[in-house]
Amino acid sequence: MLDVKLLRSQFDEVKEKLSQRNEDITALDQFGELDEKRRETIQAVEELKSRRNKVSQEISQMKRDKKDATDVIEEMQKVAADIKKLDEQLREVDEQLNHLLLTIPNIPHDSAPIGSDEEDNEEVRKWGEVRSFPFENKPHWELATDLDILDFERASKVTGSRFVFYKGLGARLERALINFMMDLHQDEHEYTEILPPYMVNRDSMTGTGQLPKFEEDAFKIREEDYFLIPTAEVPVTNLHRDEIMSMDDLPKTYTAYSACFRSEAGSAGRDTRGLIRQHQFNKVELVRFVKPEESYQQLELLTGHAEKILQLLQLPYRVLNMCTGDLGFTAAKKYDIEVWIPSNETYREISSCSNFESFQARRANIRFKRDTKAKAEYVHTLNGSGLAIGRTVAAILENYQQEDGSIEIPEVLRPYMGGKETIK
RNA sequence: GGAGAAGUACCCAAGUGGCUGAAGGGGCGCCCCUGCUAAGGGUGUAGGUCGCGUGAGCGGCGCGAGGGUUCAAAUCCCUCCUUCUCCGCCA
C-alpha cells in the first residue's frame, strides 16, 4: 500500500513511476476524487458529532438540575439521523478508497532497470562453471524416474497433475536440503528458525499483498476464510502484523521452512514435466524486518545468504536485477537468482529476493519506534527464498548426473544423507 | 462438538446509561534521600489514529471486532473472534 500523503502531494510523479510497471493502474485516476470526497464527508460528520457531544453534556446537566430537556432532545434526534446518513456515506467512500489503495502496486526503486518484461532484466553477476557433458545428459524427471526416487504418475492418480511423490533417497535428499539450508541460515547467518502454520486468514494474505488482487492464484479452504500459504513469507511477515517493535529489535530475521501451495492459474501447459512447477513444493524462506535507511544494504546481505547455498552446493547460477516491468506487485526492487538447469540449457529461477520497503509494513501495520517517545514509523520488510527445495533437487539431479544415470551427492549434503556419496 | 467464565491503555486492574480519556497499582520520566547493586520519599506523564490549521492548537474515533438501541454506551441488545476451565472426541 502506498502512502496516501505521498499520493496527495506528488500524484504525477508517483503515477509516472508506476507506469513503468507492467500493470494496469488506470484505477489510480480516481484517487483524487475519492480522497477529496472522503475528507469532505469526514469534516461534515465530525462537525455534527462535535455538536452532539456538546449538547449531550448540556442535556446531562439539565437532567441533573431537573430541568426539562424535551426540546433539545427532539432537535438532537434530527442531528443523530444526519450523522447516521453521513457515516454511511463515509463508510462507502472509505471502502472504495481502501480497495483502490490495495490494488495499486509498489513504486519501483530507482536502481531497478526500466523495462517492460524479462528481456529487460539486468544480469548482475554469474557464479560457477557450467558443466559440459561428455555424454547425452537427461532431464531430472527421467533420471529420477529411472532411479525410482520420484513418482509423478502415481501422484496424479492419488491427487492430480503437478503433484509428486518423493521416494527413498529422493525423499532423503529433499529432507537433507531442508536441514542443510535451515542449519546454515540459523547457525551462520543468524536467522531465528520458524515453523509456521500452512494456512492463514484473509488479513494475512492482504498484509503481504497476495490479496485482494491475486485470489485466483491461491488455494482457498472451503468452509473457512483460510488460504493455503503460497510461501512462508505470508505467515512469517504477518507474525508482527499490528505490532510496534523497538529499535533494538531491528533487524529482526527469520528463516522458515514450509510447504508452499500455488494454483498456477494462468500457467497451464508450462513446465508440465518435472519438479519445476508443482502445486505443492517445499521452500526455505528468509524474512527480514529492518530500519528504512538500511533496507537496500540488507537486500544485498539477504541475497548473499541465498547465494551462499548455491555456492556450497557448487551449482552455477546468475543473479538478475529485475526490471520495472517484471518486479511483481509488491517489490520495489528484486533480485532473482537463477540456477543452471542443463536440460533447459538455461538458468531457471530458484530464489527471488525482494525489498518491499514500507509497502507490506503499511498494509500489515508493522512499525517500530526509534525510542520510547518517538512516533512509530513503518519498518521495511524483505524476503527471499533460501532456497526453493524442489528446484534445487532438480538442479542437483541434472548437474550432478553421471553417465550411468546415477547422481553424485554434493559433498555438503553427505552428512545429511547418512554419508552416502551417490544415488544409484 | 457441548457447558461455563473472561477480553479495559506497556502490564495488572476498578468501573452496569450522562460529571470516565477512563479510579487504583505496577512500569516509565524527573527530583530528593540513602549509598553499594537493591531500597525509600516526592512529583510528573500517559497510547494510537483520522480530519482541520503554517503553527500553538482544535475536533472526531477509541474500553476484543462489527452491528443495533438511545439525545447520550466501557456500561443495554445482537453477531462474530480470541483466551481460560470442565466434559466429549482425537494425532
Q: What is the pLDDT of residues A258-283, one digit of tens each?
A: 999 999 988 888 888 999 999 999 99
Verify that A72 and A148 share a domain, yes or no: no
Q: Is residue A85 part of a domain?
A: yes
C1' of B31 to CA of A292 (Å): 38
Verify that A64 and A197 share a domain, yes or no: no
Does the pLDDT at position A371 exceed 80?
Answer: no
Verify that A386 and A281 share a domain, yes or no: yes
Average pLDDT, chain A: 93
Q: Is residue A107 part of a domain?
A: no
Verify that A92 and A136 share a domain, yes or no: no
Q: Is residue A110 part of a domain?
A: no
**Residue A187 carries which side chain, given as an amino acid letter?**
D
Verify that A138 and A32 share a domain, yes or no: no
Q: What is the CATH number of the domain that holds A70?
A: 1.10.287.40
Does the pLDDT at position A120 exceed 90?
Answer: yes
Enumerate the known binding-site residues of A for ATP.
Answer: 262-264, 349-352
Verify that A307 and A395 share a domain, yes or no: yes
DSSP string, A37-97: HHHHHHHHHHHHHHHHHHHHHHHHHHHHTT---HHHHHHHHHHHHHHHHHHHHHHHHHHHH
Domain endpoint, select from A102, A135, A170: A102
Q: Which residues touch strand B (CB under 7 A)?
A: A 4, 39, 42-43, 45-47, 49-50, 52-57, 59-60, 63-64, 73, 76-77, 79-80, 84, 91, 367, 372, 375-376
Does the pLDDT at position A125 exceed 80?
Answer: yes
C1' of B68 to CA of A90 (Å): 19
C1' of B8 to CA of A371 (Å): 26
pLDDT tens digit string along A382-418? 999 999 999 999 999 999 999 999 999 999 999 999 9
Give the structural domain span for A258.
118-423
Return the bridge partners of A220, or none.
A227
Q: Which of A44-53, A134-143, A146-155, A282-291 has the lowest mean pLDDT?
A: A44-53
Verify that A234 and A278 share a domain, yes or no: yes
Quick check: is A123 catalytic? no
Verify that A122 and A180 share a domain, yes or no: yes
**What phi and psi values does residue A375 have, to the nearest 5 degrees?**
-75, 145
Of A258, A295, A343, A352, the active-site residue reads A352
CB under 8 Å to A168, separation ≥6 — which residues? A148, A149
Of A349, A406, A408, A414, the active-site residue reads A349
pLDDT tens digit string along A341-355? 999 999 999 999 999
Number of domains in chain A: 2
The H or E element that residue A338 is part of is strand A333-341
How large is the ipTM? 0.83
CA within 13 Å, CB half, A168: 13
Q: Which nucleotides of B are covered by protein (CB under 7 A)?
A: 18-19, 28, 48-52, 59-61, 67-68, 70-72
Look-up of cell digits 520497503: A357
CB A383 within 8 A of CB A286: yes
**Banded model confidence at residue A150, pLDDT cuts 50, 70, 90:** very high
Q: Is residue A324 part of a domain?
A: yes
Q: What is the CATH number of the domain that holds A305?
A: 3.30.930.10
Mean pLDDT, residues A363-373 taken together:
82
CB A12 within 8 A of CB A33: no
Q: How many CB atoms lie within 10 A of CB A391?
A: 26
Q: Which of A224-238, A307-321, A372-386 has the lowest mean pLDDT?
A: A372-386
Answer positive or negative: Cα dihedral of A342, A344, A347, A352: negative
Verify that A74 and A125 share a domain, yes or no: no
